[in-house]
Structure 1
Amino acid sequence: MHPERREITEDRDGLPLRLGLRLLAADATTPLADVLVEVWQADHVGRYSGFQPFEARPGQAVTSESVPHDVIAAGETYLRGSQRTDERGMCAFNTIYPGWYASRTVHIRLIAHLRDHSVTTQLYFPDPVTDEVFSRPPYRGRPQRDTTNATDSIFAHGGEQMILDLQGDPTTGYTGVLCVVLDGQAGPASAAGPSAESDG
């Protein structure tokens, strides 16, 4: 389980990102309160904390099944955290804009632990914003990313609904919000950005 905290950046360099989420039940109006939400992401050079560096083979799709899960540094927790939703179904994290790794578009992973099951999904970013962010330090020192939203095999399955609504700029940082409607055990049924805005 990721540490329960709002600030997950630790010592990682990158453009500040404030992430705000609101979880709603299948009726799209009832807030899901006291749900433990876990997020984790790659740093600006595409590395996850606690896991082996991973380079995909040419043509290999990177999924949760294909990435090695051998923990090599259990004490490393950067860019990982969890929060419980409040009575409005909201939670927030302070992090950085994620970097990319081979065969995947830029994303943040998320698990919502409901009473009788968990829902796993990914949060995405508009490609034009990512291109602008990656043209600036500390991201610009890396090769050009090999996968965009349009060419990502996982994004193709409902990713458009999971794109964060971003406000801000590539110099000072962004606030990204999303309202996620969870449809039973089927996972996220729909999402809409602006209604996820949080004042917390």
Structure 2
Amino acid sequence: MHFANLLPIVVFATAVFAHPGTHGELVDRAVHEARILQARKCANEIAQFEQMRRELRDPQLKKRQTATTTAPTPHYTTIQNSTCITAPEVVEGPYYIGNEYIRYDLRETQPGVKLVLDVGVIDTTTCRPFTNAFVELWAANSTGVYGGYGAGGDVKEDTFLRGGHFTNDQGIVELTTSYPGFYQGRTAHIHAMVHKNSQQQSNGTIISASGTLTHIGQFFFDEPWNDKVYATSPYTLNTQRRTLNSQDGILRSAGAAAFVNLQNLRNSLNDGLLGYITVAVDGSKAYTFQNKNVL
């Protein structure tokens, strides 16, 4: 693992356990407003997109809906928080590591509540699914530690809860991770990137600097779900001070931030959670990496 400018990063991450200041992470508000207006043009397509994904997972849902003549075609006049990111783009933060593994299951041996994320990506320039986009996720584990950094910013070779895969011809990818833990200054969240035209290495990792980085964002979770998860082991072993959604500066500054739409995967929390999120991406945009660390 290669860490560029390691000392400043580790010192900063240790001194301020939250991510860099909210003003530094958020891009110009005018860009944010323009992105919201652009995404609204695709509101109906996004609603239909999520409905289609639910039907793919639950065929009985489609049968139940087609059995009634009163079921309307999904139509929203505004983008819903639970279905689409409308937050400003943010930089990747101090815990990003490039060139991670291409895989569907990111957990490795990490304990925690299983979280299956159904991620749909839609291009707001066309209002069509974004196919063959590499969706990359990374998050803290149950005790608030990131793979590759360890407690207190110690550098490690760990790759847990990092990686991603490509969207299919319907713009969908399903990734399995663990429900993220909290750490001082940050509420539960998962970092996300969307890349296009990315190349792969022979060892099964992505070449992060290849292609175009079209989106950087974060997924959040409603507080009642955080409460349920954090009352279970191993999350109860987390000794850091918990930061609530209402106290998270990045979430507050992001405005209409992206919240994952959650439900039990089967009968109980012990069986895991299923989450839906649709990421609205401006396919014409290109962002740059601030963090040069690579696996």
Q: TM-score range by the shorter chain?
A: 0.7 to 0.9
Contact 1:28–1:181, Cα closer than 8 Å, also in 2? no
Tell me, yes or no, if structure 1 residue 31 matches structure 2 residue 129: yes
1:105 to 187, 201, 216: 187
* Dislocated runs of 4+, deviation >6 Å: none
Contact 1:111–1:120, Cα closer than 8 Å, also in 2? yes
Larger radius of gyration: 2
Tell me, yes or no, if structure 1 residue 94 matches structure 2 residue 94: no
How do 1:42-191 and structure 2 match up within 5 A?
42-54=140-152, 72-74=155-157, 76-115=158-197, 116-143=212-239, 145-158=241-254, 160-168=256-264, 169-183=268-282, 184-185=284-285
Q: Name the structure with the higher strand share.
A: 1
Question: CA separation in 1, counterparts of 2:124 and 2:242?
Answer: 36
Question: CA separation in 2, counterparts of 1:138 and 1:28?
Answer: 43
Contact 2:136–2:165, Cα closer than 8 Å, also in 1? yes
Contact 2:140–2:161, Cα closer than 8 Å, also in 1? yes
Distance verdict in 2 for CA 1:123–1:186, change over 3 Å? farther
RMSD over aligned Cα, in angstroms? 2.1
Give TM-score scaled by structure 1 length.
Answer: 0.78
Percent identity, aligned pairs only, is 30
Deviations, residues 140-192 of structure 1 (Å, cap 9, x unaligned): 233474311111111113364410000104332100110111135399xxxxx
Question: CA separation in 1, counterparts of 2:143 and 2:172?
Answer: 29
Counterpart position of 1:14 = 112
Give TM-score scaled by structure 2 length.
Answer: 0.54
Structure 2 residue runs of 5 or longer lacking an equivalent are 1-98, 198-211, 288-295
Matched to 2:215, the amino acid is: V
Shift of residue 52, structure 1, vs aligned partner: 4.0
Q: Name the structure with the higher helix share.
A: 2
Question: CA separation in 2, counterparts of 1:186 and 1:177?
Answer: 25
Question: CA separation in 1, counterparts of 2:227 and 2:126?
Answer: 33
Question: CA separation in 2, counterparts of 1:186 and 1:159?
Answer: 22
Deviations, residues 84-143 of structure 1 (Å, cap 9, x unaligned): 111111111111111111100101111111354331101111111101111111112334
Question: CA separation in 1, counterparts of 2:257 and 2:286?
Answer: 15
